[in-house]
Structure 1
Amino acid sequence: MKKGNIVSLEDRIPKIKQQRKRKANRRLIILLSIFFLLIACIGYFQSSISKVGSIQVEGSHLLSEEAVIKASGISKGMNVWGINREQTVKKLEKLPEIKSAKVSVRLPNSYQIHVKEFSRIAFLSKGTSFYPVLENGRIIKDAGSKTVRVNSPLLTDFKEGAVLNEMVDQLKSLPDEIINSISEIQYAPKKTDKYHITLYMNDGFEVTATIRTFSDKMIHYPSIISQLDPNKKGIIDLEVGSFFKAYDTGEDKENEKKEDKR
């Protein structure tokens, strides 16, 4: 071996001591960091910061914020990290009004619930109360009121089931312009057609139709009435084809009598 490559043991000892000291210091720093982290965690979980302090609700219109919070199962004072968000979402989505839900935590101790509700399509008239009918065909029976919004059709003689679901699907495919022109839709089944309905329009016309072809026929309503005398009201039949029959008036009957005398 060359003399320049030989290192004496006396020269190596200080370096070994320095390396050992550095390793010991690193271990000490790691142990102290773990210790203080544990102390901080214990302090956090024992303090009010780890408890739910506020709950915010976004997107609820049919449901009150209180109803959403109650259904979620989250309450103030619960441990922030002890809440199963997936289970909370499942609870919320069981409500007939809620289409989807999202639950998130905002540090240090707030929860945010965002819900997307099913759209209201119409109101169901029952007795003296009106109940919202949603796009999924559900009737919200605990949300009855004595008034109805003017931009929503009023349904009469309907009940939850296949017929109502079909009616809702047909309404969903119509533009707002036509939906807003409908005052009332009455379910009036016949022996030959269990899907027969009668509509009362805001412009004074009456429409008879069958639910199965309702949207396909009703989409032409603006074009149909544009060809009619607005002062002469009557029934527009959309069941098979499309034809108009004016209401019988006193003047019409008088004219018929004069014709008979001649």
Structure 2
Amino acid sequence: MSAQMPVLKEPGRKRVGSSKLLFILLLLFIAILAVLFFNSSISKISEIQIEGNRFSTQEEIEQAAAIVIGDAFFGTTSGMLEDRVSALAPVEKVTVTKVFPGVIKILVQEYPVVAFELSDEGEMTALLSNGTTVDASNDQLMLIDKPVLTGWAANDPLKGELTKQLAQISAKQLSDLSEIIPIPSNAYPDRILIYTRTRFEVITAISVLKEKIDALNAVIETQEPGKITMLLADTYVPFDPEGSENMDSGQKETTQ
């Protein structure tokens, strides 16, 4: 006697089609939201705040950053903006902060001023620690604590070396230096003449200025005004009360 086989039920089919449709609708909804967001004012740069700049104008910084109000807020990263602004010669460091919605904050740190230069036409420029020359017509009050360079050729490479040396000397040590003039000689092509605010006359060289500055300040603090020579050997001669020593010093400069 043969047994009758039971009828097997077919497994129910999953609703694959409805799940795919739901996923597609979700993607479409997200895409519509993205389009609406990136075309709205909330996704645009609404304000650019720049602080710390002194020799770089706001227009120069904005041009270097290559952004304007109305650009896409997420179009560039903070790092990209920092790299662009750092390319400006006076800028030593820059920090960019993006504050949603729409605010870009650019904090600039420029190279410090180590000296000023007076041209033959009477124009005042500032020399930064990296050798950059910038306009300083509105900063003449700073002359009280920075030396002024006179008599230097515009393309003199030693001027750049001098600014690097001055950058390594503290502001306090530089505060008494009034004027720096090039007086090259065969033995010392980088020889300079320094006048101090305390009425000393100093002959030294750019290459030894940093190592001689402490000894120079020690003499200035303990001696009467006079002529100081700091080259291979250091000498100090007080000025004659009648000024004869000061006149003779000009005749002796060419011997060192």
Q: Same fold (TM over 0.5)?
A: yes
Specify every segment of 5 or more residues in structure 2 that has no aligned partner in the other structure, as ranges: 1-6, 246-256
Identity of aligned residues (%): 23
**Aligned counterpart, 1:195:** 190
Q: What are the Cα deviations for residues 18-58 of structure 1, in whole angstroms up to 9, with x where unaligned?
A: xx35x666545433321221111111122122222111223
Of the structure 1 ranges 236-245 and 24-33, higher mean CA displacement relative to structure 2 is found in: 24-33
Q: Equivalent residue of 1:108, what SS?
A: coil
Residues 123 and 137, structure 2, Cα contact 8 Å, conserved in 1? yes
Distance 2:165 2:149 in 1: 13
Structure 1 contact 131–145 (Cα < 8 Å) conserved: no
Question: Matched residue of 1:170: which SS?
Answer: helix
Q: Does 1:220 align with 2:215?
A: yes
Task: Please identify the structure whose Cα radius of gyration is greater.
Answer: 1
- CA drift at 1:252: 8.1
Between 204-213 and 30-39, the greater mean CA deviation after superposition: 30-39
* Partner in structure 2 of residue 168 of structure 1: 163
Q: CA RMSD in A?
A: 3.0
| TM-fit CA distance, 1:132 | 1.0
Of 111, 128, 134, 2:128 maps to 134
1:128 maps to a residue whose letter is G
Post-superposition shift, 1:160? 4.5
Structure 1 position 251, deviation (Å): 9.1
Which of residues 74, 91, 94 in structure 2 aligns to 1:98? Answer: 91
1:104 shift after superposition = 4.9
In structure 2, relative to structure 1, the CA distance for the partners of 1:48 and 1:245 (3 Å cut) is same
Q: Quick one: distance in 2 between partners of 1:251 and 1:64?
A: 48
Equivalent pair of 1:138/1:160 in contact (CA under 8 Å): no
Amino acid at match of 1:235: K
Matches within 5 A, 1:32-51: 32-51=25-44
Q: What corresponds to 2:147 in structure 1?
A: 153
Task: After TM superposition, give the deviation of residue 156 of structure 1 in Å.
Answer: 1.5
| Alignment-mate amino acid for residue 238 of structure 1 | M
Q: Tell me which residue corresponds to 1:3.
A: none
Match of 1:234 in 2: 226
Per mean C-alpha deviation after superposition, the further-off stretch among 116-125 and 26-35 is 26-35
Whether contact under 8 Å (2:78, 2:98) holds in the other structure is no
Deviation digits for residues 103-158 of structure 1 (CA, Å, limit 9, x no counterpart)? 45433323233333222211111232321101111211x44347240222211123
Q: Is the 8 A contact 1:128 1:146 kept in 2?
A: no
Residues 156-185 of structure 1, C-alpha deviations (whole Å, 9 max, x = no match): 123344201221222122222211121222
Match of 1:207 among 198, 202, 206: 202
Native 8 Å contact 1:89 1:101 kept in 2? yes
Does 187-196 or 209-218 show the bigger shift?
Answer: 187-196
How does the TM-score come out when normalised to structure 2? 0.78
Task: Determine if contact 1:130/1:148 at 8 Å carries over to the other structure.
Answer: no
Bigger mean CA offset, 76-85 vs 64-73: 76-85
Matches within 5 A, 1:31-70: 31-70=24-63
Cα separation, 2, equivalents of 1:25 and 1:59: 59
Q: Tell me how many residue pairs correspond in the alignment.
A: 237
Residue of 234, 237, 241 corresponding to 1:245: 237
**Relative to structure 1, is the Cα distance of residues 74 and 201 closer, same or farther in structure 2, using a 3 angstrom cutoff?**
same
Letter in 2 for 1:200: Y
